[in-house]
Amino acid sequence: MSLRGDVCVVTGASGFLGKRLVRLLLEEERTAEIRLLDKRVQPQLLQSLEDCRGETTLSLFEGDIRDGGFLRKALRGASTVFHIASIIDVTESVEYSELYGVNVKGTQLLLETSIQENVVSFIYTSTVEVMGPNTRGEPIINGSEDTVYDSTLKYSYGKTKREAEDRTLQANGEVLQNGGRLATCALRPMYIYGEGCRFLLSHMRDGIRNKDVLYRTSVAEALVNPVYVGNVAQAHLQAARSLKDPQKRNIIGGKFYFISDDTPPVSYSDFNHVVMSPLGFSIQKKLPLPLFFFYIVCFILETVCMMIRPFIRIAPPLTRQVLTLLNTTFTFSYQKAKKDLGYVPRYSWEEARKRTTEWLASQLPSERDKQRSK
């Protein structure tokens, strides 16, 4: 099923995944219009898409997803919404009210506006972190959508994404203003890597400061399966195609899907080394401290930051929750997405790794210059 002639809205369109999805829509589908919705859209984004634009209209909508009037203008006449925009906060540096306001209230308002403006399909970009790992660090190996797990979430980001996902799936089947019905689904990608990944860039910067030795914050046996950004974009396109198909619509509406690919399971720290070793980086052989003492250090840092928070908000560089995430085996299969959505990774592991390393290589000279100038 094609999206030809459709009007698609992409929230977070200028972000890491959003830009990749917009380009894929232009390359693969002859949509009538793509509306790039974000708080701020860089002018060069449109210029970078000229080579694949074709006859598709690209429209910029700059505003806040908590603004109902803005959303009504952006969604009027649209058929499909890809809701990617959210605040990603892994250090607890953002006030909870702001995180909740954007991630939960913004999603709810977007759903309500979709119903008012007769949007037919709504794809929500969730995250594997709505599943965990829980505070006890219980592992999952090759998990699926049917895996039973005690998802005791303490981390604000995971909690707000989980509530937003729940609200999205509960909205499936809601009656639209014109009498039709809204179909929704949620995609739960693993840790997303690729060209433009700010987390990889941050790890590379730390490595440069440490004389080209990458820091180790996860033990080698804590396996995860990162997913390439191009494959996540492909999964979104397949979800939209499936929701448009009358036969598949009833099957996938109201459901969530884990999105991974054929990237080999590896720890977070060792993954950084895999993509950066061709650039001359090595990695610490073991954690700087035994894991138990690492937790104690994180506890002390969290306590100090909490005590001074009434005067100044400082986020600890590492928390116990993040340390648990980094040191828990947590891998998931994409087989259900393959079965229901027809999702098949567009890029092999070899190509994804090559593209990612080449992008990091292109950033390396300027990052070294920045370090020398300090």
Annotated active-site positions, please? 157
CA dist., res. 332 & res. 190, Å (int) = 8
Look at residues 289, 371, 330 and name the one whose alpha carbon lies nearest to residue 158: 330
CA dist., res. 159 & res. 127, Å (int) = 11
CA dist., res. 20 & res. 16, Å (int) = 7
Torsion angle of C-alpha atoms 301, 306, 308, 311, degrees rounded to 10: 140
| 3-state SS class at 289 | coil
Who contacts 268 (Cβ-Cβ below 8 Å, separation ≥6)? 191, 217, 218, 222, 224, 326
CA dist., res. 230 & res. 22, Å (int) = 11
CA dist., res. 330 & res. 222, Å (int) = 8
> What are φ and ψ of residue 186, in 5° steps?
-130, 140
Who contacts 58 (Cβ-Cβ below 8 Å, separation ≥6)? 22, 33, 34, 36, 46, 49
Q: How many residues does the chain have?
A: 374
Query: What is the chain's percent helix, strand, coil content, to nearest 5?
Result: 45, 15, 40
Q: What's the sign of the alpha-carbon dihedral 107, 79, 256, 333?
A: negative
Using only the alpha carbons of the chain, give its radius of gyration: 21
